[in-house]
Amino acid sequence: MRRTKTLSALVLLVSLFLIFFYATLHLETAYSLRAGPEDLLRDTSLQVHDSDGKAQSSKQERFTIPLPDVLNVSVSDGLKQAIPQNGAYWNRLLYSALRNLDKGGNPFGNESDWSLCRQKNQEHLQTNVHDFTSYPVLLQDFLKGMNCRSPPVLLNQPNKCISGEGKGDNRPFLLFAIKSTPGNFEQRQAVRETWGREGVYQSGLRVHTLFLLGSSPLDDPDLSSLLSFEARHFGDLLQWDFHESLLNLTLKMNMLLQWTVKYCPTASFVFSGDDDVFVNTPALLRYLQSLEPSKASQLYAGQVISRASPLRVPKNKYYIPLSFYDGPYPAYAGGGGFVLSGALLQRLYSISRVIPFYPIDDVYAGMCFKALGVSPEANAGFQTFDINEQYRENLCVNKNLILIHRRSPQQMKKLWKGIHSLLLTC
């Protein structure tokens, strides 16, 4: 009797040991799978935290993404025909940049030091824009930072498009680059659980997702620890150290171009859009797959806004004074969501070094595409101003669209489930 007891105790001990050993092994593999995003966080300044969990970024040297070699670019005659040469400040800046380019001078301007570029510009503005002080404060702020194009990187994902957890080729067919803001945790999670889910879709098409963030104003709660956790956990956040604001979205778009040229040049298509839109990912993939090769390599598609002009009502958030810009806007795709060919990224980024920043990001994108000689492709499936109220809940209508603005996280979940329901007969 005693012998059996000892024996069973021994068996129990051995099994406990085996279970423990196995569990440790498992933990280790899980850890090494997660090592990707962690490694890259080590590069960034957010990695070091003091005991309060506040980032000690000032003590560390921050890195900025080095500029990739820029290709020779030329600006289409179409842009010169679309944008008049006159006395408005932006128009003058454009034509002076074009003259520089023609002279073979440094077309890309000086890569101003991020910490100094605002001060330098201040004096220049006072002398060159006669009514500068009458501009809305935010627009004045935009103008001061117009030449500042190298904000420090806070969160990066350099391996996003390269290594695929040992599965080899990880080139995305489609990269979702979603404009978000630090506090929009719920929106991001809804996107991850619905249309932005990463993985392999129909016909083996690989989809990757990134959220693009600026930084919160100093008076806001410090979200940096939460964000660095989120970045480690999901591996899908890019963050730069510039303040989130409507007029900084052009800078955000430029950072996306810079990032993709360096870290994801092989993506077939890039989607740029907001975190409060709903995308019917299978429909978008079907559309992209259906394109002729000549179109697929020159794509700039979305809801096209043609014949738009600057709004001259000072209270409007898109107000543009006549002394700043004088002329119509080239046709552009609404910034709520549009797609472009990966093949255009390098040229687009290069041309953006020539075209001065414009305070409205989607108008600016339109100008850059115009400079490349690429016209926007209208697609009725992109509804950046939403659809008629009576159809918003209609799953059959939604199923045939590609993008709808705007939907709450809860609506996204409901819609995603609805259009995927097997019971849906349209």
Ligand X SMILES: *[C@@H]1O[C@H](CO)[C@@H](O)[C@H](O)[C@H]1NC(C)=O
| Contact set with ligand X (CB under 6 A) | 100, 106, 109-110, 138, 141-142, 145, 242-243, 245, 247-248
Joined together, the tokens standing for residue 31 give 């850890």
Q: How far is the CB of 101 from ligand X (least distance, A)?
A: 10
The torsion angles phi and psi of 8, rounded to 5 degrees, stand at: -65, -35
Distance between CA atoms of 64 and 177, rounded to whole angstroms? 19
Closer of 138 and 308 to ligand X (Cβ): 138
User: 382: which strand partners?
Assistant: 403
Closer of 183 and 328 to ligand X (Cβ): 183
Q: How far is the CB of 202 from ligand X (least distance, A)?
A: 40
Which residue's C-beta sits nearest to ligand X?
A: 245
Q: How far is the CB of 106 from ligand X (least distance, A)?
A: 5
Cα distances from 289 to residues 252, 284, 285, 400, in angstroms, run 28, 9, 6, 16
Q: How far is the CB of 47 from ligand X (least distance, A)?
A: 21
Closer of 37 and 151 to ligand X (Cβ): 151
Closer of 117 and 340 to ligand X (Cβ): 117
Cα distances from 324 to residues 19, 147, 153, 321, in angstroms, run 70, 15, 30, 5
Q: How far is the CB of 182 from ligand X (least distance, A)?
A: 13
Q: Which residue has the tokens 């979305």?
A: 302
Q: How far is the CB of 251 from ligand X (least distance, A)?
A: 7
Pair type for strands 300-302 and 377-378: parallel
Q: How far is the CB of 138 from ligand X (least distance, A)?
A: 5
- Residue 340, burial from CB neighbour count under 10 angstroms (0-12, 13-18, 19+): buried
Q: How far is the CB of 214 from ligand X (least distance, A)?
A: 7
Distance between CA atoms of 403 and 387, rounded to whole angstroms? 10
Joined together, the tokens standing for residue 205 give 């098409």
Closer of 141 and 198 to ligand X (Cβ): 141
Closer of 142 and 176 to ligand X (Cβ): 142
Query: Where do runs of H (alpha helix) occur along 219-344?
Result: 224-234, 249-263, 281-289, 293-296
Closer of 250 and 379 to ligand X (Cβ): 250
Contacts of 408 (CB under 8 A, 6+ apart): 276
Return the ∠ at Cα 386 (arms to 272 and 397), rounded to 5°.
105
Closer of 175 and 360 to ligand X (Cβ): 360
